[in-house]
Every structure is written in C-alpha cells, then in structure tokens.
Structure 1
C-alpha cells in the first residue's frame, strides 16, 4: 500500500511516494548531502534547514546518513538571525533529528567561521560513536563517521562517508576505509557504508567490492532510482549505499521542486533485508 502526500509548492514540505507497510525485516536507509542547510549566493542566499527537517522526516528511514552538516557557523548565524524562522540554536544534526530519533555528529572540516562534518540520525539505539580522518591533502578535510546501530536485536555497523573530489584521493580513502573496517568491524557483522562518494565516473564499485561491499541498486535497474546530482536535473549517482550482509529490496530518489530547492543533491533511500 502506498500513499501520495498532497502536492505542495516549492519551499514547503516536500512530496513523494513511500510505502506505509511496516516490516520488521526491512531496514530503510537514507543518505543526503544537505549542503550545510543553505542555498544560493549573495543577496539570493536562503536558509533551507527548516525545509530539510520536513524532508528528512518524510523519508521515514530507520537511519539517515547526512553529509555537509554544520555544527555551527558564526557568520551565517548572524546573517539569518532575522529571517522568519531563524538559524537553529543547536547544531544541525540535533536540529534535523525527527522526534524519537537520536543524532550522532563528528566534525570533518574546520573553517574560518565554523565547522561541518557527517551525521547519523537513528530511530534505533546507537553504540559508541567513532570518527576517522581520511583527508588526503590539506585542501580537503574528509572523514568517516562510524556508529553501531542496534536494529531488531542485531548490531548493524553504519559508516557515513564523504569522499574527495579527486579520483586518486578517493581510491586512497577506500583503503583507509578498509583499514578502519579491519580494526573495528567484525568480518561477519552486517555493514553499510553510505554517503556522498563524489565518484563522477562511477569507478569505485570495483575497489569497494574488494572490501566485500556491494552497491545497493534497485532490482528494477532504472537510472532514475539512483541519480541524485545535480538536484534540479539529476544525471550523476554521487550518493550511494554500499552493503555487506544485506539484500537490496528497492531504491528511491525523491523528486520535485521542493526537493530540488533544498540542496544541490537529492536524497537516496534504499530498503534492505538481511541476506
């Protein structure tokens, strides 16, 4: 059974179709690069963090893996202080967590006016939060957020990733990921690595397979179920979920004017079953 949420104008709550059938056997994962909650430049710059909160809640995922999440930014906080809803008083991860969800955040990059990184929102209990710097050079600060999640009595290891802009850097970051997994994740544990891989040429599937990780792809094979960037006319599948110990049941990329407005990426939602 599916429902169609009412159509709303851009700038209001986003719309899409999602299954309303609860299944204790399906684990729904969302991954979303939120572009620090702000869009536009100069006088046209606008705050989207409040709309993003509505969008993330609409995903109805068990866990949501977020990239480019602000902990704070002094300049933008001042700039948007007098906007209708205002800059959130807390960090964006905590602000975006729907009711009943816990949040985990770790910083990847420190900038002149603030810092940003990866976050995980989970409706299930979380274990000890780990963070691993995988920066390949001083011009790009990148990291891995590792959080065990207790789902249906089973420990699922979730890694939120944001890889670099250069292919050689991404290959080295896969190796750093492998080293972290060898140290911290049991070989037989259910695992997923989700995030923005910046893999424009789609060259990372093979090295990730070398780690025992398979890309979660829709059984339908439709390109529309995987491309997420740019959000207005998506043609690149930069946002992905790689899995071990899971079978992909379905994937979904929400679309529409409201989703295109909120970030330069669209979210990707995958539904998984234990393999």
Structure 2
C-alpha cells in the first residue's frame, strides 16, 4: 500500500457526466445491472489485463445504472478503464476503494445515466483477511430519492451474515425505495441470504436465480439483486459471446418499475 494512501474503504471518485437535458430525474421504470469485471482480467484472471473486453460488455448491456465489482484502477499504467468507459458512454461515476491492490486501487463502482444526489462508502470489513465494502448512491426520481447500493460480500458465511445485517441497518438503505445488488458470493440458502429475502421479499434459493458463474458455463447464482419500493419486472443474465470473454462472471440485468 502506498504510504500516503488512506485506510480503505473510502470514496475515491465522484464524476459527473455532461448535462443531458432530462432534469436528472429517474422515471417510473429503469434498467439496472450488476457485473463483476474481475480486475479487467477477462476469464482467466491472473496478470491478464484486457479492459476493452469488459468495457465492451458494459456498452452492450446499455443499462441505466450499473453496479460493478472488482474494479481495478491501475497505479502502474496510464489508463483508467472505469473513468474511460464512463466518459465514453456518458455515465456519471462513483467509485469506492475497498482495498489497496498491488496493482492499484480495487473496489466497487456505480455508473448512472442520471446525476448522483449522493454517494458514500459503507465499511463491511468484519473479517481479518477480507476487506469488503459497499457503495451506496442516491438518485432523484418521480417517487423521491432512490438508493442503489453496490457490494461484493465475503466468502465466509458468518462474516457475510454480519455484512448483510450492517447493510440492512444502514440508514440510507433501511428506509425508502432501495436496490441492493452485486456479487453476493452465495449459492445456497444461508443466514445472509434468508435475511435479505425477508427484508426485500425476494427470492433467495439458487434455483430461483439466473446462474452467472462461471461465465463460460454458469451454474452458480453468485450475482443477485434485491429491491424494495420497486417491482422486479424481469431478471436475467446477459449471456452473449462478449460477456463470456469479458470476465469470469456474467452480468445480471433487471428491469425495475418504481412503486
């Protein structure tokens, strides 16, 4: 970690896209997506660096709001893929650093067609070995403020349950319309998934969710979406040829109708 780097997690970037003339207010329906971009390393991971692959998938999805996990902002290169894709596609951007990676900053990002009314980091680092966080942003809509929280939960069940409890009790998520999505690292019913299902009245068993991992032949539903104050009209994986090469996870895409 660089000597002058603050303790993670922290809100590292909040960029605004050029005005689009819509007043910055979400309508009654929107498309949201979640995508683990695997440090821009494609399917194989390791030291590979192919940001153009996942960036092409993000463009292909064309969602109104995207939650991205394992976003790497390299310190050993001149480019910054997340900023590049936001500027190229006209998205507003918020990025929270979860931890300092040997190759740069690693964390969660949100891309939004609409201006962000607020953005904050939520520390979910309850285990000694895993640094985890969530990024919560707010959007102005016809029904008031809507919270969208992007996260990447722990591998250990007990730690993941504590993280879910912290998210559900957070004042920005606990009230009003909210969408929680990301890589939940859960493929079977656990305390964490049951708590989410009860809080958001959503599905929680693997057979009820579209499988997203591994991308070449998905069998596990690691990537999930929960909504309150909104109806999930449709939920599916984005299983194109480009998506199977862009990361080890397939994106999930949902159509929501605000209540």
How would you bin the TM-score normalised by the shorter chain? Answer: 0.7 to 0.9
Distance in 2 of aligned mates of 1:230 and 1:41: 12
Q: Quick one: which of 32, 36, 50 aligns to 1:33? A: 36
Worse-matched range after superposition: 252-261 or 239-248: 252-261
Structure 1: segments with no counterpart, 5+ residues: 1-22, 78-87
- 1:152-189 deviation line (CA, Å, top 9, x unaligned): 47321010011000111110101111232xx23462x2
Could you say which residue in structure 2 is the equivalent of 1:84?
none
CA-CA distance at 1:202 after TM superposition: 3.6
By how many angstroms is 1:193 displaced? 0.4
Q: Residue 15 of structure 1 corresponds to which residue in structure 2?
A: none
| Corresponding residue number in structure 1 for 2:20 | none
**How far 1:151 moved relative to its partner?**
3.4
The partner residue of 2:84 within 80, 95, 100 is: 95
- The count of residues paired between Structure 1 and Structure 2 equals 231
Distance in 2, matches of 1:247 and 1:113, equals 40
1:164 aligns to 2:151 (yes or no): no
Decide which moves more: 245-254 or 224-233.
224-233
* Aligned match of 1:201: 188
Deviations 1:96-126 (A, max 9, x none): 2252211100100113332200000000110
- Against the structure 1 CA distance between its residues 186 and 255, is the aligned structure 2 distance closer, same or farther, given a 3 Å change threshold? closer
Partner of 2:234: 250
Q: Deviations over 1:30-71 (max 9, x none)?
A: 0000001013367xx543211221211111111000000012
| Residue ranges of structure 2 left out of the alignment (5+ in a row) | 1-25
How far did 1:25 drift?
3.2
Return the index of the structure with the highest Cα Rg. 1
Q: Alignment partner for residue 50 of structure 2, among 44, 48, 51?
A: 48
Q: 1:151 and 2:141 equivalent?
A: yes
Find the aligned partners of 1:243 and 1:102 in 2 and give their Cα distance: 22
1:138 corresponds, among 128, 133, 136, to: 128
More displaced 10-residue stretch of structure 1: 57-66 or 146-155:
146-155
Find the aligned partners of 1:208 and 1:262 in 2 and give their Cα distance: 29
CA shift for structure 1 position 225: 6.4
Distance 1:263 1:246 in 2: 29
8 Å Cα contact 1:231-1:260 kept in structure 2 = yes
Which TM-score applies when normalising by structure 1? 0.76
Q: Secondary structure at the match of 1:215?
A: coil
Q: 2:100 aligns with which of 102, 106, 110?
A: 110
Deviation at 1:253, TM superposition (A): 0.9
The answer as to 2:241 corresponding to 1:238 is no
Q: What root-mean-square deviation, in Å, do the aligned CA atoms of Structure 1 and Structure 2 show?
A: 2.5
1:119 corresponding residue in structure 2 = 109
TM-score, L = length of structure 2 = 0.81
